[in-house]
């Protein structure tokens, strides 16, 4: 396994490939993302440990979507069973994926815990447990500070786990090595990831703004919701489709079948 150093403009290519691949199988990929969200939502309803379970499943579910994207890119119809790809692998890799999920849940909860120091846990409770949000709450300086701290901490945390599920699944790396190699790959290709993240943020904001303008012109909040919900679902599916290409281009994936992935080197 070798790390590929890509130019910053590759971030644009990842966005294009994610969108293009989505439109090869739009119904299947939208349905899989809806299934993704449904599994996480059902898990979160379990008393006490529901939110932790939903977080712990995220790396495995993300991997499943990457496998589905790979299938769609090859012109195949991705089946729902692919979402279980992480746990249908050999026992050691499935175990490592479970450990990775627990590490992700622990890290995310730690971030939420740190934000609680600033606002008494209001942001963390809203994010993890849901609830009503109002203008008074959002305008509180302590809530805003907690929100910005969460964003500042989650960005490097997400890059730490960005490639890790795929490295565990396709290369058989243990959780610690997968996290290390993921962090190195994202850091060495920071220009591409910065452009990639900026473009997706711009797309989400632009679509949201456009939908809001249409809803305002039509004078119907219900119409706004009916427009925004499917658009958000499709955009999210496109985004998750693009994750596969960022992994594919960051690493040389055509390793010999008998190669030992743990002896990998970077160049």
How many domains, the chain?
1
Give the domain extent around 258. 10-263
Tokens (6 digits) for 55: 């977080």
In a domain, 62, yes or no: yes
* Structure-block tokens of residue 16: 């294009």
CA distance 215 to 84: 38
In a domain, residue 93? The reply is yes
Determine the pLDDT at residue 46: 75
Distances (CA, A) of 235 to 13, 33, 45, 228: 16, 10, 25, 10
- Taking the CA atoms of the chain, what radius of gyration do you get in angstroms? 19
- Does residue 196 form part of some domain? yes
Per-residue pLDDT 10s for the chain (267 aa) are 788 899 999 999 999 999 999 999 999 999 888 888 887 777 777 766 777 888 898 999 999 999 999 999 998 999 988 888 888 888 899 999 999 999 999 999 999 999 999 988 888 888 877 667 777 777 888 888 998 999 999 999 999 999 999 999 999 999 999 999 999 999 999 999 999 999 999 998 888 787 777 766 766 666 666 667 778 888 999 999 999 999 999 987 554 333 333 333 333
What is the model's pLDDT at position 264?
A: 34
Q: Which residues lie below 8 Å from residue 235, measured CB to CB, with a gap of 6+? A: 203, 204, 207
The answer as to whether 205 is a domain residue is yes
In a domain, 257, yes or no: yes
- Do the beta carbons of residue 233 and residue 149 sit within 8 Å? no
| Domain-embedded: residue 163 | yes
Say if residue 67 is exposed, middle or buried (CB neighbours under 10 Å; 0-12, 13-18, 19+): buried
pLDDT score, position 266: 32
Instruction: Please tell me the predicted confidence (pLDDT) of residue 136.
Output: 77
The predicted pLDDT at position 107 comes to: 95
CB 96, CB 168: distance < 8 Å: yes
Residue whose C-alpha is closest to residue 61's, from 39, 29, 30: 39
Answer whether residue 5 is part of any domain: no
Tell me the C-alpha distance between 122 and 206, whole Å. Answer: 29
Closest CA to 161 of 89, 248, 243: 243
Q: How confident is the model at residue 267, as a pLDDT?
A: 33
Helix (H/G/I), strand (E/B), else coil: 251: strand
pTM here? Answer: 0.84
Instruction: Tell me whether residue 21 is in a domain.
Output: yes
């Amino acid at each position: 396994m070798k790390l590929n150093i890509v130019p910053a403009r590759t971030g644009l290519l990842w966005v294009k490939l994610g969108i293009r691949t989505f439109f090869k199988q739009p119904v299947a990929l939208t349905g899989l993302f809806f299934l993704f969200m449904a599994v996480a939502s059902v898990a979160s309803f379990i008393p006490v440990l529901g939110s932790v379970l939903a977080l712990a499943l995220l790396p495995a579910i993300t991997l499943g979507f990457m496998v589905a994207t790979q299938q769609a890119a090859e012109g195949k119809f991705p089946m729902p069973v692919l979402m279980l790809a992480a746990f249908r692998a050999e026992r050691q890799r499935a175990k490592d994926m479970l450990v990775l999920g627990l590490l992700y849940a622990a890290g995310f909860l730690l971030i939420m815990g740190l934000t609680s120091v600033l606002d008494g846990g209001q942001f963390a409770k809203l994010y993890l447990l849901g609830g009503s949000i109002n203008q008074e709450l959002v305008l509180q300086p302590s809530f805003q500070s907690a929100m910005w701290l969460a964003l500042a901490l989650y960005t490097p945390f997400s890059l730490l786990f960005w490639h890790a599920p795929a490295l565990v699944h396709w290369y058989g790396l243990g959780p610690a090595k997968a996290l290390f190699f993921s962090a190195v790959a994202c850091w060495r290709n920071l220009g591409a990831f910065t452009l990639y993240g900026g473009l997706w943020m711009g797309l989400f904001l632009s679509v949201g703004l456009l939908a809001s303008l249409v809803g305002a012109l039509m004078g119907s909040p219900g119409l706004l919701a009916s427009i925004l919900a499917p658009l958000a679902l499709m955009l999210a599916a496109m985004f998750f489709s693009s994750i596969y290409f960022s992994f594919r281009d960051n690493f040389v994936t055509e390793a010999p079948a008998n190669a030992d992935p743990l002896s990998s080197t970077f160049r």
